[in-house]
Structure formats: structure tokens, C-alpha cells
Amino acid sequence: MTKLCILLGALAVIARARVAILPGWVVPVPALILIAELMACTALVAWLVHQARRPAPAPAPAGGPS
């Protein structure tokens, strides 16, 4: 029960925390976490699409070595 209370307290602090990105531009921490997750997912999808579009290797010649 104590660990759960500590976790909830930490989440409450994170939810209310704000970070100054640029002078005059303050952003909530959860928004930064969400943006980082979206960027990571986008990069993963782009990498998967790049891998899927790679041409298949040429088939081995029929008959084998002589």
C-alpha cells in the first residue's frame, strides 16, 4: 500500500510540473512525455516501412553447383 501511495504522489507531482523549453514558453511535463512517445512511434513506423520496401534478394540459380 505504501508503494502505491508513493507512486500516486510522484504521478501527481509529475502531472503538475512544468518545464521552460524556451524563454516565455512553459510546457507541462506530461505533454513532453506524450510528444516523445509519438516521435518514437513515428520513427519506429518509418523504419518498419523502410525495411518492408527493401527489395527481396535474388533467388538462387536452379541446378546448384556443378
Report the pLDDT averaged over residues 28-52: 93
Percentage of the chain beyond pLDDT 90 is 30
Question: Is residue 65's pLDDT more than 70?
Answer: no
At residue 39 the predicted structure's pLDDT band, cuts being 50, 70 and 90, is: very high
| Mean pLDDT (the chain, rounded) | 86
Report if pTM > 0.85.
no
Q: 49 pLDDT band (50/70/90 cuts)? A: very high
What is 10-56 written as a DSSP string? HHHHHHH-EEEEETTEEEEHHHHHHHHHHHHHHHHHHHHHHHHTSPP
